[in-house]
Amino acid sequence: MNTQHCIEVCNRLLRGEQSAVDAYTKAISTLEKDHTVPVELIAIQKDHEEAVSMLAENVRSMGGTPSTDAGAWGAFTSFVQGTANLMGDKSALTSLRAGETAGKMDYEAAVQDEGVMSSCKELILTELLPTTERHIASLDTLRI
């Protein structure tokens, strides 16, 4: 196995999770101004914070240095979420769901990547991917 490749993949996933934390922080902050924030959004934000911790620890366990920012993906997410926040709750929820769907696809791609170590795939399959799927279901319920 190419440990460096696995570190790079996990850091890419980590940046996505950091971006998700930022997006939920912005959405919650915007909703707090005019509405009660659905408890589901706060729980999802905490899940993403936990995913950041898990992925960072995973990168460290392989001898790598965890990414510390959301990078270019984070800037894009901030733009999309900011626009959605201006357009209303439904748009913000749609934007968050799109981010979750992108995250799910990233996790699925990592599982299919032959260069990703089995221990990393296990973390994705047992923890991160099921949590992302729950997020999508929760957001679908909120958008109705």
pLDDT digits (tens, 9 = 90+) for 113-135: 999 999 999 999 999 999 999 99
Answering whether pTM is above 0.85, one says yes
CATH architecture assigned to 3-143: Up-down Bundle (1.20)
Q: Kindly list the domain boundaries of the chain, sorted by start residue.
A: 3-143
* Number of other CB atoms surrounding residue 22 within 10 Å: 19
**Count of beta carbons in the 10 Å neighbourhood of residue 68:** 11
The whole-angstrom separation of Cα 6 and Cα 132 is: 20
DSSP code of 127? I
Tell me: pLDDT of 72 over 60.
Answer: no
